[in-house]
Amino acid sequence: MTTHWNQWTRRLVLAGCTAALLPLAAQAQTPPKVKFQTTLGEFVVEVYPDKAPKTVENFLQYVKDKQYDGTIFHRVIDNFMVQGGGFTSAMNQKSTRAPIPLEANNGLKNDRGTIAMARTSNPNSATAQFFINVVDNTSLNAPSPDGYGYAVFGKVTSGMDVIQKIKTTPTGPGDVPKTPIVINSATLVK
């Protein structure tokens, strides 16, 4: 009887421990989210450190450092993408940390609603600027026509209506919105 009782007790204890750890495991797998508050409303992106670890680490550090607060969407091309995170409303470029290596071959695609890092023709030149695809941009996927692609690292999970407003904003020379679209804040969602 004692052996039988001990087996049941062990099973119950193990089941209780497993049940207690399940919420922690689910929490550990929840992608980080960042809320952007802009002059046209707010949107939220979730990022995928399992797919683009260096890119996500870089992006989240800029969020924590308040780099994006007070920057604008400085390049808006309807039926392509909206780009921000690098310039103030006076069109002064903000200083950045060193560039990060390209992580475009991570399985994520430049589909509508995804967020990716902007870069120059140098594939390893991304710093703080990002863009949100407003259509499926297969030509930006690795390997792209330049041979490298653009690193997608997350997607918009709420507020695509705000992205829609941004993408249809009237622009002037250089695809700069005529009325600045300011990122008032970018904060990590707890």
Q: Report pTM.
A: 0.84
Q: Do 126 and 45 lie in a common domain?
A: yes
Supply the range of the domain harboring residue 54: 31-189
Q: Do 77 and 1 lie in a common domain?
A: no
Q: Do 51 and 131 lie in a common domain?
A: yes
Number of domains in the chain: 2
Q: Do 53 and 105 lie in a common domain?
A: yes
Residue 4 has a pLDDT of: 54
Residue 71 has a pLDDT of: 98
pLDDT tens series, the chain, 190 aa: 555 545 655 555 555 555 555 555 545 589 999 999 999 999 999 999 999 999 999 999 999 999 999 999 999 999 999 999 999 999 999 999 999 999 999 999 999 999 999 999 999 999 999 999 999 999 999 987 778 999 999 999 999 999 999 999 999 999 999 999 999 999 999 7
DSSP-assigned letters across all residues of the chain: -HHHHHHHHHHHHHHHHHHHHHHHHHHHTSPPEEEEEETTEEEEEEE-TTT-HHHHHHHHHHHHTTTTTTEEEEEEETTTEEEEEEEETT-PBPP----B-----SS----TTEEEE---SSTT-B-S-EEEESS--GGGSSS-TTSS---EEEEEEE-HHHHHHHHTS-B-GGG-BSS--EEEEEEEE-
Q: Do 148 and 92 lie in a common domain?
A: yes
Q: Do 38 and 60 lie in a common domain?
A: yes
Q: Do 45 and 115 lie in a common domain?
A: yes
In this structure, what CATH number is given to the domain that contains residue 78? 2.40.100.10
Residue 147 has a pLDDT of: 82
Q: Do 137 and 178 lie in a common domain?
A: yes
Residue 89 has a pLDDT of: 94
Residue 143 has a pLDDT of: 86
Q: Do 92 and 48 lie in a common domain?
A: yes
Q: Do 118 and 46 lie in a common domain?
A: yes
Residue 146 has a pLDDT of: 78
Q: Do 25 and 39 lie in a common domain?
A: no
Q: Do 61 and 6 lie in a common domain?
A: no
